[in-house]
Each structure stands twice: as structure tokens, then as C-alpha cells.
Structure 1
């Protein structure tokens, strides 16, 4: 096997990319290879990794996979070229120095087995010397020289010259240095242009949502991800035609000529033939490959940005504030089919269900309110969770009236909140929902999910495939595998950051714990149901197929409340319990006296209890955990209060100040639910009085915010909002530090492209356009 880069070289590359010591990378790679998970390494192996955080570890894990795949491909290429007897020291060095897969493929191209090409046929006909001769001696007359190469397979001089040209064009296409330079230049100087796919598309109603791209161009390097995915979707739906323009063709032809050693300015007999060869090499070969490369790179970058946006939103949603273990009434609103009702106790167990019909066409308002009142009284309901779908505001009005009646009767009043229904229908129809709620009608499962989401968003949302939760930006246009890997990592990190109650957690929640597979999660639940609740973490070792390695990985993230050992309810790993014992011995107190005693704990010096295995970082974490054992990193619970009488888009008026909930954050702004069944958009330019490069700097999914209405388009159900409450509708359209004067906004695309204007993230610069870019938020 040919030599390939060593593990040390991969580690050195990773260390350079991450800006950390190579020893940190080496130690982390060893842990990953031994089966440790990122959450476990980040939390419990800080001494080993030099306190790399979960973000750095995720990046390292991803890049490690890429570099190992690169090494595998490099080794295969080296072996293939060596088998052909063509591996030179220079070629080996070039392959070993290649730092991307595309670079390896560029170098391998001349040696890659391929179908019989026109150039290959020309070589077999003995025309390669003709090509070389014309390159070496441009004073030669092509027609005369070509006549020397006629034969049984070459009928005339035109065929000979044509074959020689195919050889040179193929040679150009297999020049790794040239291909790489052209690719880089095309990316920095090129642009993407869009037009209607056809005359019919330009006038079809289905294509009108893409009309702002009927005559559009933007530099490849500067095109934001949401616009890339929008035009790619337009192409997929046969509404748009896309073309890639690399800029000045003469520049690329000069690069090709230089590669071949051709002087295009020379006045020699062969120069016109060589110039035509160069032009065709660009037009029929390199321009096409550069366009394909640019498309792939553009899509990959857009996908990476879209995945990053989705990941941030998902993390915020998963780590949203839980209402806690309070009895909750879940309402899944509907008109004709009624409002589905479910009551769950503080542990999420379903204790009652029914359906009520307060809205059209039945209009059984008083009967529905009486039914809900009875459920509240019977079960001591403390929270009312209302789904935000169809009939949400009407159902909210019913709950408001119910609460007023309860208050007037002098009873304890439950709080109410609007809850996102995103993905609830997916859960309701899932096999797990059928297993978890056997015998319960699928329509009622949605109400159960809505109630549980209010109690603990994380515990409920893990039951749904992440991409179905609906907080992404063009997620349906992203390669599924790429999206799934990123989102699974987000869910895993969120679950382990919060910790999981071992005695109440569902299989989907347990399956996201470090070191726990779905099969192992099922085994844990089965053991719990058969043997009763766990009283200690050590009890996990009695679970079938849960061995020492799995225990090491998961134990610290699993909590046991009211167990045999108070430390089992904390984030202190069982392997570190001896450190706690040393602390107790030194302090001369019991564990019960020390836990939660911030004054005493803050007098301790972590260095006094560190040893060869548990260093200062781990001891510091242990002391912090003892201050607030099992602390929940999520924020305090709060809800938005929607304005009375504002129930549909038509009720909105410019200038209104409303309270709402951020439902989704994209690269160009944030969508906010203000209670009218259609999210409004706060464009990135209307978020702050300062420049905002990333909307996540200002808001996050699930956050309660105050907004002012700037624009209302009832016909198209579009709402423009601002977070700057001093803005006026007259200023409108997100006027602020990121906006250009209207005259400058109206410059044509080419002028804007030349200037590199970064002030607007939509072609027209308007909120309406940004909404169209966002696909209404229903993407």
C-alpha cells in the first residue's frame, strides 16, 4: 500500500484549523475512537482535552471524518496510479499535499479509467505527435503538417487537425493546476443569473412567487444562502432557468494559453488554429466544469448556512423554558371537527380526554366552557396549553372567558399559553405515539402533545423527527443526510445539557442520552417497568446489555430524584464521587449539610482536591454542581399575551404595538407569531439601531418579544414588523442603519453586483421581498 498521511499529520491539520494544541486533538481523537460521545467528552474529560467545548468538539469530529475520508481516497488514488506504473515522486508529493477531495480528483483525472474519448481515438490514430508539433512550432502551417499524418483512420487533414484539437482540449481539462486556478477565478469573479424557464413559465400563476428572479444576477461569493435555495427551488419547479457567468472569457482563455505555452498574440501560421483550440477548450470543457463546480459549491455553502440556521433555531426551541410539573389542560383547536382536549398530570400522564365544539358550525360555546370548567376543577388544572393552529385565537377567547369565570368564583386560576403545534401531527400519527398512548384516538394525541410541550418542550419534541418541527430555512431543499446529522447532534447536546430523569424519561428521550442507543433505551424502560423505579445510578448496571462503557457514557446525564444517594440527582459523574467524599472529609460536614450551601462551597479551592485523574476543571464543575445540584440551564417560563380583538391579518393596522413569540429565525430576519394565524416578518434591518449581521444575535426561537406593525398586505397575507418600537409605518420597510436610500435601492442588478452592496438581503430590499425569499415561512 502506498504511503499516506499519518495520523499525526491529520492531528496537526485539525490543531491548526481549530487553533488548539496538537496534544488536545490527539487526546480527543483517541477518546472518540474509543467510543466516547461529544457530550461526555465536553463535560467529563476536560483535563484530557484541555477543556475543549462541545462546539469545538463537534467541529473536530466532523473535520476528522472528512480528513479520514480524504486520506482513504488519497490512498486509493495512489494505489491506482502505482498499479498503472505511472506514479512518480513528484506526483506522489502532489497527492500527499492535496488538502481537499476535489484537489485529489483533479490530480487523478489524467489517470482515472474512463470511457473511450475522442482524444483517445485520436491518440490511437497516431495524432498526438501532430498536436505536440503544432504546440512546439506555431510557424508550421497546420494543413500542411496535418497531411503527414493521414492514414487508414485519418481520411483528410481536417480530420487530423480535429483529432489533434481533441487531444489538446483533453490535456487542458486534465491539467490539475489549471483546473484549480480556473475554478478559483470563476468563483471569485463569477455570478449566477436567473430568468424564466420558458415563455410559459413567465406568465404562469405557479411561477409568480419567483417573479423577482425573472431578471436577476448576483455574484457567487456574495449570494446569501436563502436566495440560493430559493432560485434552486425555482429551477426544480421549472419556473426559473439558471446560468453561471464566469466573467471575462478572455482572462480564462489567457490562462489556458499560458498552460499550453501558446502565444495568442503571435503572427504565426498555426496561431489561429491554436487560438480556436484555446477558445473551444474554454467553451466546451473548462467553462462547463467550472460552472458545475460553482453550482455544487454554491449549493453546499447554502446548505451549510441553512443547516446552521436550523440548528440554532432547534437548539433554542429545545432549550425553551419548561412550565414544569404542573397539571396541564391541552387544547388542539379546530372548527368543524371540534377542539380536542386532554388533561395530563405533572408527570405527563394522561388523566382525561374529550372533544368540545364551541365554534362553527356547532357553536356549543357554553357547553364547551362548562366541560372545560369541570375538567379544571376535577383535576386541579394549573396550566392551559392552546395549539396555535386553525381556530387558535377563537379557542384562546374561550379559555380567557373560562379563566374570568373561575376568577369571579374565587377559585385558583390556571395560567394559559399558546403553544406551537409544529410537528404535532407527525407525532400523533407515529408508531411511538400509538405505543405510548395505546387506545387513544390519533386526534386526541395532538392535544396530549400540546399539553406536554408546555410542561417540558425538550422531553416532548425529542419524539418528533427534528426536520418536522418546522424551524428551518428551506430545510426541504437541503440534502437529508446533511441536515439529519447536524440536527441529531443538536438534539443530543440539548438533552445532555439539561439531563434526564431516569425514572420518567421516554424511550426517545433516553435514546438521546450519551452512550444510549434506541435498543438500550427500550431495555432501560422495560427494566424500569418490570423491576420498579431506579433508586441509584448503579442500578443501571442491572439493565440487560448496558455494560461498563455505556454506563460510563450515560450515568452523569441521568438523574434520580429521591434516590439512595443525593449525588445521583446531580450532574456529578459517579466516577467522581470520591472527590466529593474528600471534600466532605476536609470540610467536616455531611453531604446534606454541604449541598446547596453556597457560602461554604465558595470558600473551597478546587486545586486542594485535584489529583492526577480529576483536575481543577472537573473539581470546579463538581463544586458548582453541589451549589445547585441538577440545575436546569433553561430560562424561566414566560408566555406572550396576544392583543384582544386581533385575531386575523385584517385586524392588524400599521403602528400597532403587539406582544408575540418568535417562531423561526432565518438569515434575513425573524418570524413572529402575534396571534393572527400568519407569522409576521421582522427583517434583519428592523431588528436594532445597530448593524446586525446575524438575527440570532438579537432574538431566538421561542422568545417573547414586543413588535410594531409596519406593513400589512391582507391579500397576500404578509405582515411586516419591527423590533424598533420608535419606527413609524411611514419610515417603513425596515428603515434603519442597514438600509440604503430608496434611489440607491433601485439601482439595477448589475450596478448592485459591481458595488458589492451588502446592505440588503433581498433583491428588491423590501419586507415583502424578504417574505417571498422566506417562502412565507412555510418552507
Structure 2
């Protein structure tokens, strides 16, 4: 048993190494670290010698595949055992099972031996009809009725009678149907052929045209199954779930050919005939009927369901990848910094909620102003905002991008102008996505118990401008609004992926131990919500931490957890200057040795670029710390606690362009990328409706992935190509030389002529005709998620 485990373990290590194109020792060391409880951020940053420098992306992929391959090996052992218990495990079958490299292949091999309910085929076998099925399959020259007459019998116990030749032939047919449908090679070949050549056919259900108008692009739609993009697949699956669309799987030419291509494949696999059908032999017609029913009854529905599942799984995976990538960009967006901030959460009838926070995000004061209809108290609102700015020395004004945001942004603009020459004051439009979710959350009620939910939203907007990462971790990631059909995908897989993204982002930036919220602390490698609460409780009771070692005094935080989390926690102005850096405490003796050999004290060495760049990492390497770690340490000492996020910059929306009716084709505007999908990017240009830059309009060069050009949070210049007021759709381009075309596709404009890559392949201009579909069901879903309110 131990040997079998070791063989399976070694097989997994070898396969992971092959898939990731790395060396087996790297994989083995990583697996041991993961099994020992180490986190991906910790391994990626502090165990490079062991892993050979695998980064967090490789480590995440390894971790995910490790789980799959272990499940595969467990299932393989169970299948071998189950077949062996039946006494049917031949050496050849065992070899096939050992070679199975996917769960699907393993289940195909197991299917004939799987315990199942008493089938018609099983009843026919009990009636002694299996020899008849084998005889007619082996020799189609025999007359079926004559052979069947030899197998008539009376009822006996639970076994029914075989009263006539027709009953005998029906039983034999059931036996062959089951045999054919459980042949692993045949099933595998048909599955892959259907995936490779099959078409996904979508049709509207009669009477659902008006109700399902948003799915109109799929009312009569055919597309090669294996090439359906994730956004279209998920749109069609949603249409089916809502009872608007009927989906089916077809092979090209199946209606024209005398026999279905799959039936021909079945017949050829079992040497029944060569594809021409009835050859005049007595049993040909009966065997053709067996083949036909095998396909229609046994295989088609099964394979269609399976391949639809594969398409959905792939589409979900890609949608989750899109969401994760956008979330990462959003979390790592540039922070405006530690400045006193006034936030305005716009509103009309109920007024605009105003909140002021200090430089560290602590709530100071709130107010409600009514600058818009129906009160129109513009001057009074300006006066109140001016009072708050002066009282709290405000440097930033954050305006939420919800209802009445552009009107409120104009108010903020007047406020800033009023202080021109008196104080440095600037305004920024901030996404409200998820703010209302945070406001009503249990965490917000504990964090701001004295405030109404509407004021909590304004506080969140202010803090989000100061530090997006620190604030967004308090919100369920699905509510942030940067996903693609996030409600249609596996919620378990989505949550797992997004949690990994948040963990990687938080640990890449680092966390101030003495100011971080418990929500932010809980995302640090090795910590959880309970330990984060304990850290905050210790901080509140005994004051700020003065050293990382003091973490060991926190309830339930032991040495193993300390090892995982300490390097990602920062203490500014602590007892040891290294506590403000990403240098792990385990390496402090090494740094002291470096300082001593350099003739500098610790504080003097930090930031001394000339001295640090003159050092040779190999001279300090030992059995514990290798050159990669020492290189990282020297880089960290040069710029301790450096923030990997970019410099802060905000989009400047054009004055006077506040709604769709203000837009005109040809306008060049500045905007902020809110969402990047496989087919393009959505851009907020300040009119309460994001516009779409199709992939074909992102660049003059050929591109396959929009993220190579833009990412969420980027500030870009775009040209308006088309405006569809009726459907609230805006077509944009980042190719500023493109000209609007009044006869272009709705919501996207006519496709710009594409440049060609070095192989002379143009990106299909017709791609833009997808725009209506993408801006329909998908666009609605994205915008609803983005608002999060």
C-alpha cells in the first residue's frame, strides 16, 4: 500500500513538472511546502531556493492541478479495486486504467464494470440472449429470425419468457446497444469528434421572441462548438435557463447524409459495414437498427449533455479568469495616499450624503446637502462643503459615480475653483460599485456602528480613493462589478479564484500592522478572520505594536503562523527598522552580517544604494539563504517597503458631457477602463453608461487579448463612434484616426479596417458585428454588477 502511494506521488510530481515545464525537484519541494501548511505568497517570496524561483502564478496553477491529480489517483485506485473485486481486471485493462490521464477517460474505462440498476440488456443476458447478439454481430449473413428462433424459452423466476423471435431480437439489440455505448475507445472518439466538428445550434422557443428580446442575436444561431467564446456561451446558457432558447448539438451534414455521421462511426468501429448501410446481407438491416438506436438512445443525449458541460466549464473558467484579472487590476490601482478626504455620495430627492475622513481613513464628520432637484440648494451646498474642507483641512474630494454624479461633479468643480490659490484641493470621480453592499454588511455595522448605512457608503467612497486595496477587501469581490456573467458561473470556483487574487494582491503590497483593519489583516498570508480580530484587540488594548516579534503575544498566533505572516506586515517607526520592510525576521541575522561586513550600522545601510549595489550576493550565501533570497533582500534594503502600485492619476471627464444625449460621433474623450473582457474593454466616459471599445478598435496592430493593451483602472482617450439612445449603447475606439460611420453596427460602429500582423493575417472586421450581442445580455449584466446598488 505504501509503495502504491509512493508510485502515485511520484507520478503526480513528474506530471506536474512536465505540464509546468519545470524540474521535478522544484515541484517536489513546492508540494512539501504546501502540504506543510505554507501559503502561496510565502512560498513565492521567501522560499525561492527550494522552488527554483516559481512565481505566484505558477504556484497557483501547481496547487490547483495538484488537487485534481490527487483526486484522479484516488479515483484510479478505487476503480482498479472495484474491477479486481469482480475478477475482471486483466493486465491489459489495468494498463489502460493506469495510463488514463483524465477523470473522463478513467470513467469511460470503468463504465462497463460499473454497478448499475438492472437494465434491459442485463435482463436479456439473464434470458440467455448474449450468444445471439454475438452471433449476428460476427456473421451478418445469418438470417436474424432463424437464429432468434433458437433462443425461445418459457418464463423462469424473475426472468421473463422469450416468446418469439421478435422478443429475442429485441433482447439481443439491447445487449449490443449497451456494449457499443460502453466501448471506451468509441465513446472517446465520438466525444472528441463532436467537440472538434460539432456545431452548437441555438433557436428561440416559440412565443418567447418578445420576452427574450435581449437574446435576439441567438434566436437562430449556429457556431462551431469548440470555438464558441465564453461570453457567447454563457449568454446562450442563460437564455436556455430563462426558457427563451433551445440549444442542441449537431454535426455538419447530418441532415443531408443517408446515415448520421456518428452512426457510420459506430458501424465502422465494430466492422458492421463500411458506411454504405444495407449491403444485402440478411442481418444488415437489423444491425443498422442497433446502430441507429445506440446513437439516438444511448450516446447522443449522453454526449450532448457532457459536451455542453465541457463548454460551460470552459466558459466559466474563462469568465472567472477575466473577473480575477480585472479584480487584480482594481485592487492594485494607484492609491491617492494619506490625505484628508471629503466624499460625496450623489443623490437627487434624498440629497447627497457627505462624509469626511482623516488621512488614515478615520471618520470625522458627515452632512447631507441638496444641490439638485427638487430643492436646488446649490449655494447652500457649496457653503457647507467649504466649511467641511476648511475645518478638516481636506485635500481630496471623492465623488461617487452613481445617480446625479456628473451634476455633483460640477458642484465639486466649483468647490475646487473656490479654493484656487488658497489650498491644494482636487476632485476625483470614484466607482461606487459594491459601496451599498459594504454599507449594509455586518462588518460595516461593527466598524461604523453610529452611522446610517447611507453615510457608511460615503465613508467607503472616501477610503476607496485613499487606498483602493484596503477598502475593497471589505466587500465581497463578486459585488465589485468587474466580472463577466459572474452569477452564471460556479460560485465555489469563482470564490476560490477571487480569494487567491485578493491574497496575492494584499501580500504583494504589504500591510501596516498598526493601522490595518481586521478585514485587511485577515487577507495576510497565514492569518484568518479570528486571528485578525485578535491582532486588532491586542492593538486596541496595549497600543501599537513596536516589533514584529510582539505578534507572538497575540492569542492563538503561534510560530508557524508567525513564519507565514510576519514578512508581509509592516511596522513604521518600530524598534527595528527592518520591521518596516519586506525582509523576513528569519533573515535579520543575515542582514546584520551584511551590515557588519559593510562597516555600516543597520539604519545606515537601509537606503544606501551605492553600498548595497557594490555588494556581491554570492559572498553572503550559506546553506539556509541562497543567492535569489539575498538579491531580494538587497533590493528591499535599497527601497524598503516600496509599494508596487502605480502613481495615482484620475480621468478628467469633459464638461458638458454628462449623459448619452450629450454624446456625438467623433468626440474624443478621456475615460477610465472599468472592465476588460475577451472581446474588448468597457470605458466610463462620465455619462452613466460605459461604452465598449471592441477588440478590433483597441489598437492599430493585431491583438488576441485585450489585456495586452488595457487593464481595469487605466486612463485612456477614446473617440465616440456611435450612440444608440434607444438601447443605451455607446461604441468607442482607441484608434483616434478612425471615422464614425452612420451605417455601422448598433453600439459599435462599423469595424475599423484592421492592420495585419507579421503573418499577414488581418483581424476580422466582421468581429464588430458581435457588438449588439455583447452589449445586450452581457452589457446589461456587466453594468448591473458594476453599479452594485
**Alpha-carbon distance in 1 for matches of 2:528, 2:754:** 47
Structure 1 residue 411 displacement after superposition = 1.6
Out of 704, 719, 735, the position equivalent to 1:724 is 735
- 2:269 is aligned to 259
Kept in 2: contact 1:186–1:247 (CA 8 A): no
Kept in 2: contact 1:685–1:734 (CA 8 A): no
SS class of match (1:658): strand
Structure 1 residue 104 displacement after superposition = 1.0
CA-to-aligned-CA distance 1:21-71 (integer Å, 9 cap, x gap): 001000000000000000000000000000001110000000000000111
Structure 1 residue 166 displacement after superposition = 0.8
Out of 769, 778, 783, the position equivalent to 1:774 is 778
CA-to-aligned-CA distance 1:167-188 (integer Å, 9 cap, x gap): 1011011111111111011100
- 1:146 is aligned to 148
Kept in 1: contact 2:152–2:163 (CA 8 A): yes
Q: TM-score, normalised by structure 1?
A: 0.95
Cα RMSD (Å): 1.7
Structure 1 residue 773 displacement after superposition = 5.6
Kept in 2: contact 1:318–1:458 (CA 8 A): yes
- 1:241 is aligned to 246
- 1:493 is aligned to 504
Kept in 2: contact 1:739–1:759 (CA 8 A): no
Equivalences for 1:475-514 in 2 at 5 Å? 475-514=486-525
**Alpha-carbon distance in 1 for matches of 2:524, 2:764:** 43
- 1:214 is aligned to 219
Equivalences for 1:387-402 in 2 at 5 Å? 387-402=400-415
**Alpha-carbon distance in 2 for matches of 1:295, 1:766:** 22
Structure 1 residue 275 displacement after superposition = 1.3
Cα 1:168/1:270, change in 2 over 3 Å: same
- 1:346 is aligned to 359
SS class of match (2:475): coil
CA-to-aligned-CA distance 1:267-302 (integer Å, 9 cap, x gap): 311111111111221122222222112101100110
Equivalences for 1:49-64 in 2 at 5 Å? 49-64=51-66
Structure 1 residue 155 displacement after superposition = 2.0
**Alpha-carbon distance in 2 for matches of 1:614, 1:247:** 61
Kept in 1: contact 2:660–2:728 (CA 8 A): yes
Out of 751, 754, 759, the position equivalent to 1:735 is 751
Equivalences for 1:273-292 in 2 at 5 Å? 273-292=286-305
SS class of match (1:354): strand
Cα 1:101/1:602, change in 2 over 3 Å: same
Out of 19, 23, 26, the position equivalent to 1:24 is 26
SS class of match (2:208): helix
Cα 1:766/1:101, change in 2 over 3 Å: closer
SS class of match (1:194): strand
- 2:157 is aligned to none
**Alpha-carbon distance in 1 for matches of 2:754, 2:198:** 25
Equivalences for 1:548-587 in 2 at 5 Å? 548-587=559-598
Structure 1 residue 219 displacement after superposition = 0.3
Equivalences for 1:57-72 in 2 at 5 Å? 57-72=59-74
Kept in 2: contact 1:191–1:244 (CA 8 A): yes
Q: Which runs of 5+ in 1 are unaligned?
A: 741-755
Kept in 1: contact 2:526–2:565 (CA 8 A): yes
**Alpha-carbon distance in 2 for matches of 1:377, 1:392:** 23
Q: Which runs of 5+ in 2 are unaligned?
A: 155-160, 255-259
Kept in 1: contact 2:722–2:741 (CA 8 A): no
Kept in 1: contact 2:351–2:371 (CA 8 A): yes
Equivalences for 1:190-229 in 2 at 5 Å? 190-197=198-205, 199-202=206-209, 204=210, 206-229=211-234
Kept in 1: contact 2:356–2:363 (CA 8 A): yes
Count of paired positions: 758
Equivalences for 1:419-438 in 2 at 5 Å? 419-438=430-449
1:6 lines up with 2:27 in the alignment: no
- 2:158 is aligned to none
CA-to-aligned-CA distance 1:443-493 (integer Å, 9 cap, x gap): 100000000000000000000111111001111111101111111110000
- 1:648 is aligned to 659
SS class of match (2:54): coil
CA-to-aligned-CA distance 1:598-652 (integer Å, 9 cap, x gap): 1221111111111111101000000000111000000000111110001100000
**Alpha-carbon distance in 2 for matches of 1:734, 1:348:** 47
Structure 1 residue 379 displacement after superposition = 0.1
- 2:179 is aligned to 171
Q: TM-score, normalised by structure 2?
A: 0.94
SS class of match (2:287): helix
